[in-house]
Amino acid sequence: TRYGPVRTDHVLFIAAGAFHQCSPSDLIPELQGRFPIRVELGALGAEDLERILTQPEHSLTKQYQALLAVDGIELSFTPDGVRELAAMAQRLNTEQEDIGARRLHTILEKVLEEPAFAQGPATVVIDRAYVRSRLVPILEDTDLSHYIL
């Protein structure tokens, strides 16, 4: 630095992210030595994703309810609808790229695409049948590029 060398003897280095395609040898040696502990996390299950959708104070379901309420759209999620959203997210994470809980946002965007652009006051109930009707085309769309050499 312009003030001289920086001593990193007592500096804690923390890195987080989805490094599933990286190995420690991909990092420069100076950086490898700073990360002596490595923790791998398992994939989120349907129950975990369901809790993420419902338990936090500002969960995605509550955020979308508040967002659509501004336009006069009353949005409600049934327990089986939330369960189906979580199951679909887990299935897509298994079959395609595993992006964890971020998949919930993309799924909710797709499921709520029509109500988000609806005009006037309306009531929308998100149940299992509604979720399946919106997401079946995505599940059936298989990316065949994985099989091309």
List of domains in the chain? 46-147 (1.10.8.60)
Do 60 and 105 contact (CB within 8 A), yes or no?
Answer: yes
Q: How far apart are CA 104 and CA 50, in angstroms?
A: 9
Residue 73's φ and ψ, nearest 5 degrees, are: -105, 120
Q: How far apart are CA 115 and CA 81, in angstroms?
A: 16
Per-residue pLDDT band for 29 (boundaries 50, 70, 90) equals: confident
Q: In this predicted model, what pLDDT tens digit does every residue of 89-137 receive, in sequence order? A: 999 988 888 888 999 999 999 999 998 888 889 999 999 999 999 988 7
Q: In this predicted model, what pLDDT tens digit does every residue of 51-95 receive, in sequence order? A: 999 999 999 999 999 999 999 999 999 999 999 999 999 999 888
Residue 43 pLDDT: 86
Per-residue pLDDT band for 143 (boundaries 50, 70, 90) equals: low
Please give the model's pTM, rounded to 2 decimal places: 0.74
What integer is the mean pLDDT of 23-38? 72
pLDDT at 142 over 70: no
Q: How far apart are CA 99 and CA 23, in angstroms?
A: 18
